[in-house]
Structure 1
Amino acid sequence: MVRQAKRRQEKVRFPVCFKRGSRLTMKNRAQRLRQLSPGMILMIYYVGAIFLGACALSLPVSAVGEPLKFIDALFTATSAQCVTGLAVVDTGTRLSTFGQLVVLLLIQTGGLGITTFSVYLFFYLRIGVGTRGRWIIHDTLLHTPVDSLRNLVRGIILMSLCIEGIGALLLSFSFVPRMGWGPGLYSAVFHSVSAFCNAGFSLFADNLVGFRNDPLVNLTIMLLIVLGGIGFLVLRELKDLLHNRQQRRRRLSLHSKMVLLTSAILILAGALVIGILESSASLRNASAGELIWASLFQSVTSRTAGFNTIDLSLFEVPTLFLLMFLMFVGASPGSCGGGIKTTSLAIFIAIMLSRLQGNAHTNLFRRTISDEVASKTLALVMLAMLFMVLATFALLAVQLQGVGLAESRSGFMDYTFEAISAFATVGLSVGATAKLVPLGKLIVIILMFVGRVGLLTVAFAFIKRSGKIPVQYGEESLMIG
């Protein structure tokens, strides 16, 4: 009897010990998750959303006809979550209403940021937001601390929904007469969200080419793109400036000034150059009004959104090169767009001018930029250039290896344009997306992901900073230039 009791105790103890071991394992896993850097947590957020979106899009209910291949579903989910707009399948005809709603949800969460929604959910459920969550919000949306993160996040969501609602209402005046109440309102909401989030997804097979002469659609889409591309902090400052009339003398921050000035210069200069270059090419038969509308629209959308009212395959090579520069610059920090950002371009130019003038400091609007920000800007620009060179080389090697000489030379511009468009999360294409092989699609997926999460965020997530005290050795001169 004693032996039988001992055996029973041993049988009982074994699963208890196993349970304790599993608890320790779970604790270790939780500790490891807590030790992750904020950049790694942000990447996990986006990867999780993309994977869930790809699984939903690969279901039979998401497609019209045969279900999407998983690689195509993954590509579409990444493009939507990273608000890019590149598509290997036609959104309006190949995806069902359910699939289109999945894409729309991914665009909305990706445009405003998964962290924004998750932090607001934590506040709503009365769950505290840790230091990492605050760090991510500060790094993606702010340049200075705020009194209340709850009010900031709630204000961003409400402001975005109001802008998208007004945009949908304006677009419905053009869409409803053409398509009827149901399809017209649905298309208006879809394109409004896609435009404000700078996604570039369209339900029309020719994108917005059919609305090239519609002033209301052009103005509404351009306004939504600009508002979604200048950043939530700038929108917040402009709202406060207009709302509080007694504080009209209040000055905008240096960040907002640089965003608005740089964006205006890029839009107007880009439209002027596009109009000059294409007036004798793709727009030679257009009237003066069409030329102005098309040039201005393409200058606005090429920096971040991805809509088009002209077939880009008809553009001249210099115009495509200009579009690649505008795409590489992209939108502004804390916005829905990608690229190296407008402020990085402004600081980069200011650094060059200051050094050429013999000034060791970088000054803008009678303010001095800190050395840390200047060094971070230089690192971002140079790292982006290096990353784009390597990624474009990989894409060209995959897509053009073994093809004819004539096809290689014509494909060089197409796939280089595609790579920059993916990294800057723009979504414009000259027809190369449909030609991507599976490995090429994976490369473009990586480009879209890195472009949306942020190149420095990805770099800091994988490269651990040294905790050692930096050593400075004796100086020695080097010849440069």
Structure 2
Amino acid sequence: MSKLPKGIKNLPPGQALIFYYGLAIVLGAMALSLPIAANGEPLSFLDALFTATSAQCVTGLIVVDTATKLTLFGQLVVLLLIQIGGLGITTFSVYLFFYLGVGVGIRDRWLIQETLLHSPVDSMRDLIRGVFFLTLLIEGAGTVLLAFAFVPEMGLIKGLYYALFHSVSAFCNAGFSLFSDSLVGYRNNPLVNLTIIGLIVLGGLGFLVMKEMIDLAKQRKGRRRLSLHSRLVFLTSGLLIVGGAILIGLLEWPTSLSSMGAGESLWTALFQSVTARTAGFNSIDLNLLEVPTLFMIMFLMFVGASPGSCGGGIKTTSLALFVIVLYSRLKGNPHTNVHRRTLPEAAASKVLTLVMTALLFLAVAVFALLAVQLHGLSASASRGVFLEYTFEAVSAFATVGLSLGATAKLVPLGKMLIILLMFVGRVGLLTVAFAMLYRSREDAVQYAEENIMIG
């Protein structure tokens, strides 16, 4: 028995992160497969594994209705997995190490640095404590606000439980709901809309950005200035939210929004723009939306939230840096300049690698999913559901949870592919790639250069 902990302790950082997430998923799947977790027939282990992965990876795709199929025990297991996944296994465990007085090793510091930080901090202990309590504070505030909407309808105990569940799910960008139609029934409720939108946005900004805002608010003297990272996060997030809402409103005004009043249409467009970036709630049936709108939502899902946050996707700063690098190179500038700062070439190389690797991985995954799900169907039938499965794959990879109904049609192998997409999307594509393939090559051979024609 002593060899197992020693082997785990000596795992490289990337493999350790994968192990922690995988262990939580397996334990969650075992709990969800128990008879006490489901109403009626217990969940099959595959369905339990799918649900546990979706919760732990804060995705929100479901093969069973959380509201009706899962018992209170099953729902609490899902809620716990969402909370652990949102905080991050490493962040949560390192906080416990601090609480127990155990030192943090180099591996744990590397994991925290990669997960949360864009610059060094003075005290890792204070950072993790701040992450933990800031999460509880925001989720607590969200619970109180949602209780004003749910308690009058459901009573005190049930209303508070629903408020807590949806507050945690929204802040962790999970998208799990105890309503079978998600939040369609509350799309005209300003309190629910604003609270859920606020929780999603805060959960998607990144802990370090929120910490920086709090520090600036406390600063009374001296020049107040956000870091370049935070400025790019706010600028990109704002453009995506506002731009997405405007485009959804313009595209859907003659069709799916035509039967709604002006206020309800505004809330729906804004809500879908926010939730598309990894949250997974919906306030309208997505099958009513036009194809251009769905394509734009897939783009928003692919971009996702910001680094060090509860959300997935390639991240807002990756999109911003990708556009900045492309603009600089098209102008013939070998350097990447933004806001009177020059970014390291390593950052430019990393973002190009990340975006291209994500696109290639997603393309292969979509092909595999289509091959599994559409094999044997006629050509006309296959073309009709092509968009559904492509949308499903992007949603799983970006850990969003929005679906056009393809989840219910997944065959066992299709479920396994979606599980893989959710896991890789949450742990991080480069983390998985480096954990499996990366080796330090200081003695790598370099040959004589020779150019080729491009374009």
Report the TM-score when normalising by structure 2.
Answer: 0.98
After superposing the two structures, state which structure 1 stretch, 470-479 or 300-309, moved more. Answer: 470-479
Paired with 2:399 and 2:5, the residues of 1 have a C-alpha distance of 33
Displacement of 1:179 after TM fit?
A: 1.1
Secondary structure of the structure 1 residue equivalent to 2:97 = helix
Match in the other structure for 1:465: 439
Which deviations, in whole Å up to 9, do the C-alpha atoms of 1:93-114 show, x marking residues without a partner?
Answer: 1000010000000000000101
Match in the other structure for 1:109: 84
Displacement of 1:240 after TM fit?
A: 1.0
Q: Aligned runs of 1:392-411 on 2, under 5 Å?
A: 392-411=366-385
Which of 311, 331, 339 is the matching residue for 2:285?
A: 311
Match in the other structure for 2:207: 232
Secondary structure of the structure 1 residue equivalent to 2:67 = helix
Q: Aligned runs of 1:119-138 on 2, under 5 Å?
A: 119-138=94-113
Match in the other structure for 2:23: 48
Structure 2 counterpart of 1:323, which letter?
Answer: I
Which deviations, in whole Å up to 9, do the C-alpha atoms of 1:269-300 show, x marking residues without a partner?
Answer: 01011000000111111111111111110000
Which deviations, in whole Å up to 9, do the C-alpha atoms of 1:223-263 show, x marking residues without a partner?
Answer: 0000000100001001111123335x321111100001000
Q: Aligned runs of 1:155-304 on 2, under 5 Å?
A: 155-247=130-222, 249-304=223-278
Structure 2 counterpart of 1:283, which letter?
Answer: L
Paired with 1:398 and 1:266, the residues of 2 have a C-alpha distance of 33
The unaligned stretches of length 5 or more in structure 1 are 1-21
Structure 2 counterpart of 1:124, which letter?
Answer: Y
1:456 paired to 2:430: yes
Paired with 2:109 and 2:238, the residues of 1 have a C-alpha distance of 31
Match in the other structure for 2:392: 418
Which of 48, 56, 59 is the matching residue for 1:81?
A: 56
Structure 2 counterpart of 1:327, which letter?
Answer: M
Paired with 2:11 and 2:144, the residues of 1 have a C-alpha distance of 43
Secondary structure of the structure 1 residue equivalent to 2:68 = helix
Secondary structure of the structure 2 residue equivalent to 1:246 = coil
Which deviations, in whole Å up to 9, do the C-alpha atoms of 1:59-83 show, x marking residues without a partner?
Answer: 0111111111110000000000000
Paired with 2:415 and 2:221, the residues of 1 have a C-alpha distance of 54
Paired with 1:368 and 1:472, the residues of 2 have a C-alpha distance of 28
Displacement of 1:474 after TM fit?
A: 2.6
After superposing the two structures, state which structure 1 stretch, 448-457 or 175-184, moved more. Answer: 175-184
Structure 1 counterpart of 2:420, which letter?
Answer: I
After superposing the two structures, state which structure 1 stretch, 222-231 or 35-44, moved more. Answer: 35-44
Secondary structure of the structure 2 residue equivalent to 1:93 = coil
Structure 2 counterpart of 1:128, which letter?
Answer: G
Aligned length: 455
Displacement of 1:32 after TM fit?
A: 4.3
Match in the other structure for 2:298: 324
Displacement of 1:30 after TM fit?
A: 5.7
CA root-mean-square deviation: 1.2
Match in the other structure for 1:353: 327
Which deviations, in whole Å up to 9, do the C-alpha atoms of 1:164-214 show, x marking residues without a partner?
Answer: 000010011111111111111100000000000000000001000000100
Paired with 2:220 and 2:191, the residues of 1 have a C-alpha distance of 30
Displacement of 1:406 after TM fit?
A: 2.6
Paired with 2:221 and 2:131, the residues of 1 have a C-alpha distance of 23
Which deviations, in whole Å up to 9, do the C-alpha atoms of 1:360-401 show, x marking residues without a partner?
Answer: 011111111101111110000000000000001000001011
Which deviations, in whole Å up to 9, do the C-alpha atoms of 1:301-327 show, x marking residues without a partner?
Answer: 001100000000111100000000000
Paired with 2:248 and 2:366, the residues of 1 have a C-alpha distance of 25
Paired with 1:317 and 1:211, the residues of 2 have a C-alpha distance of 25
Paired with 2:386 and 2:101, the residues of 1 have a C-alpha distance of 53
Match in the other structure for 1:378: 352
Displacement of 1:31 after TM fit?
A: 5.5
The unaligned stretches of length 5 or more in structure 2 are none
Secondary structure of the structure 1 residue equivalent to 2:112 = helix
Secondary structure of the structure 1 residue equivalent to 2:328 = helix
Structure 1 counterpart of 2:211, which letter?
Answer: R
Query: Which protein has the larger Cα radius of gyration, Structure 1 or Structure 2?
Result: 1
Paired with 1:357 and 1:263, the residues of 2 have a C-alpha distance of 25
Match in the other structure for 1:60: 35
Which of 406, 414, 417 is the matching residue for 1:443?
A: 417
Distance 1:30 1:306, change over 3 A: closer
Displacement of 1:34 after TM fit?
A: 4.2
Paired with 1:242 and 1:173, the residues of 2 have a C-alpha distance of 29
Paired with 1:229 and 1:468, the residues of 2 have a C-alpha distance of 37
Which deviations, in whole Å up to 9, do the C-alpha atoms of 1:395-426 show, x marking residues without a partner?
Answer: 00010111122321121100000000000000
% same residue: 67
1:118 paired to 2:93: yes
After superposing the two structures, state which structure 1 stretch, 236-245 or 450-459, moved more. Answer: 236-245
Which deviations, in whole Å up to 9, do the C-alpha atoms of 1:307-352 show, x marking residues without a partner?
Answer: 0000001111000000000000000000000000000000100110
Report the TM-score when normalising by structure 1.
Answer: 0.93
Match in the other structure for 1:432: 406
Displacement of 1:471 after TM fit?
A: 3.4
Which of 116, 119, 142 is the matching residue for 1:141?
A: 116
Match in the other structure for 1:36: 11
